[in-house]
Structure 1
């Protein structure tokens, strides 16, 4: 009997109900007779710890020791499609904006830089997600989306221990090998009892919004990946009919009534040929083919 599920429910069913049925395969001493044949000393202790720990199974989930049967074939097909997402690369422009519901003021550029650094890392072939798409999919399927509500941060001035504003300035410093670089130092002149002419103050946001914005950007990438999964799994499942996600392209927009739609973002890329419009600013491409997925991926 076929059943209909949204892609979110199908992923929860896959990673919460079906894949935990697969037990951890025997390895180490378990594969050749169990603890009775362990050697002595530190080696025995290490092997025993490895044997009796409860690691994830081959699908990356904790096995259900009391579960019966094997994972459903459709769950295995969904998991394979999730793993295939790791061959794709989400494109997130540096001008991504996910904080239209609050004002970041002069700290906006610094926050945007820190958010991008929290989501992407630079590798030889270009920026890549710090956490692969398959890891994001599995985490949300098991734990759900994190709280994406962004509390309105307050802009504060960096102050010293006496409560007065701190001052900073940059000077040129020569390194051990003769290289010259800028160093930030104290910008207050104790003799004049005033800041140096080139001194500047600093501001920061309290609470810091970076962690929430990192979670928002990952949620947008996650939401984009759901559309890819629905398309890739069409006609491939035996007992499950998949429905698209009902969430908006920016999932946090449903978290709070005070959240406003980000009107500063560029228009979606829906009209461009050979581009998959996913999650507003996010596009998914195959490595080596900017803006395209390889046929058959």
Structure 2
């Protein structure tokens, strides 16, 4: 669709089709106000496919059987992947001071138990590696448990980023200096924006896998100790929020914890959890 500025644009009708598709496939709501954002992000994809117009792109995915091949890329384009190390730091303080000690106390009869942590919308991995740093510090001090961390996301791009575990130096500013010294490696390449990489010892303890939270079943363990699903539910409608939370709680061991974003603390009354702190819930 050509507009007055002479540029090709994503039409309202085609945006509505894309929004409906993303809503049904990924549960992500794209209101009309997001049209220009989606258009801007899609321009690079059109260039990669050598498709000249948005109409041509939509013709390819909706009328030329291109959707199966294109859907993962389209989801990568429209998903928002905001993440930071030690985001909402009180959650990690609570993990260190309350959650992990109580989880270990409940398994006092086990020798060297493995704590399982799941970052269920891991984005580029900052949350998963924050958990890894906190638990690694505790495991070094206590020497009475091991841990493994799973990071899942619908976007293949961010999962690849998490597996590489390379981040711009400005992103790791919230990481305490003692942890930076232990768990980060600095790039030797000269440059204005140096990169850092998570040390191999932590990378080995964090696995990344693709997961669509809208799937009816999740192919992961059902004895997880802590699940983090923070600042994701705001993109889903209430019915999908309840389904996702119920499925995730089903993967927690009794006494395990679910952490949501601070703007997502109301999750209904039919779920078998009790609130123990702001946006922190424990399976009963």
TM-score, normalisation: structure 2: 0.29
TM-score, normalisation: structure 1: 0.29
Q: Quick one: higher RCO (CA 8 Å, sep 6+), 1 or 2?
A: 1
